[in-house]
Amino acid sequence: MKRVEEQSMRLKISGKWSKAILHILVWTILIILPYVVNLNKGRPPHMLTSIEEYQFAKLNLLSYLLWIVCFYVNSQLLMPKFFYTKKYGLYITSVALCFLFSIIVHSIMFRGLIPDIYFSTVRAVWAIAPSFLLTFAASIAFTMISDRNTEERRTLQREQENMKTEVSFLRSQISPHFIFNVLNNIVALVRLKSNELEPTVIKLSGLMQYMLYETDEEKVSLLTEIEYLQAYIDLQKQRFGQKVPIETNFEIHDNTLEIEPMLLIPFIENAFKHGVGLIEAPQIIIDLNVQDHCLVFKVKNRFDPAANETKDNASGIGLSNVSRRLNLLYGNQHTLNIERNDGWFTVDLTLKLAK
pLDDT in tens, 46-85: 455 566 565 666 777 777 788 888 888 988 899 989 988 8
Whole-number pLDDT of residue 209:
78
Whole-number pLDDT of residue 336:
94
- Distance (Å, whole) CA 354 – CA 176: 28
Mean confidence (pLDDT) of the chain: 77
Is residue 284 very low, low, confident or very high in pLDDT (cuts 50, 70, 90)? very high
- Distance (Å, whole) CA 100 – CA 142: 23
Q: Kindly report the CA angle at 71 between 66 and 72, in degrees rounded to 5?
A: 105
- Distance (Å, whole) CA 216 – CA 210: 10
pLDDT over 90 for what percent of the chain?
16
pLDDT at 273 over 50: yes
Whole-number pLDDT of residue 155:
76
Which of the pair, 179 or 279, is modelled with greater confidence? 279
Largest CA distance in the chain: 114
Contact 275, 303 (CB under 8 A): yes
Is residue 310 very low, low, confident or very high in pLDDT (cuts 50, 70, 90)? very low
* Domain range summary for the chain, segments of one domain joined by +: 2-156, 194-352
- Distance (Å, whole) CA 271 – CA 300: 7
Whole-number pLDDT of residue 31:
65
Query: Could you count the other beta carbons within 10 Å of the beta carbon of residue 274?
Result: 20
pLDDT at 256 over 60: yes
Backbone angles phi, psi at 247, to 5 degrees: -110, 130
Give me the mean pLDDT over the 187-215 stretch.
77
Backbone angles phi, psi at 292, to 5 degrees: 50, 45
Whole-number pLDDT of residue 218:
75
Backbone angles phi, psi at 339, to 5 degrees: -130, 150
CB-neighbour burial class of residue 313 (10 A; exposed 0-12, middle 13-18, buried 19+): exposed
Q: How many CA atoms, within 13 angstroms, populate the side-chain half-sphere of residue 268?
A: 27
Does 194-352 carry CATH code 3.30.565.10?
yes
CA distances to 201, 229, 232, 278 from 266, in Å: 21, 10, 11, 21
- Distance (Å, whole) CA 104 – CA 124: 10
DSSP assignments along 79-103, one per residue: IIIIITTT-HHHHHHHHHHHHHHHH
Report residue 85 CA to chain centroid gap: 29
Q: Which is nearest to 207 in space by CA: 185, 184, 188, 179?
A: 179
Q: What's the pLDDT tens digit per position in 146-175?
A: 888 878 877 776 676 566 656 665 555 555
Give me the mean pLDDT over the 232-244 stretch.
81
